[in-house]
Amino acid sequence: SVTKTAVAEAAQHDKVPRPVGFVPPPPPCPGKIRYFDI
């Protein structure tokens, strides 16, 4: 039960408020698929 509490608290700390209109950056790789994926 101690572990569960610690995890829950850590999760709360991760919830940093995002500014309004914030768009997360795309993952750096792999890049966009230009045509189609096979």
| Residues binding another protein (CB under 8 A) | 26, 28-38
Tokens found for residue 5: 């509490």
Task: Assess whether the previous peptide bond of 28 is cis (omega < 30° from 0).
Answer: no
* Nearest distance, CB of residue 29 and another protein, angstroms: 4
Distances (CA, A) of 7 to 15, 16, 30, 36: 13, 16, 31, 41
Least gap, CB of 38 to another protein (angstroms): 4
Q: Which is nearer to another protein, 21 or 28 (CB)?
A: 28
The residue (of 2 and 38) whose beta carbon lies closer to another protein is: 38
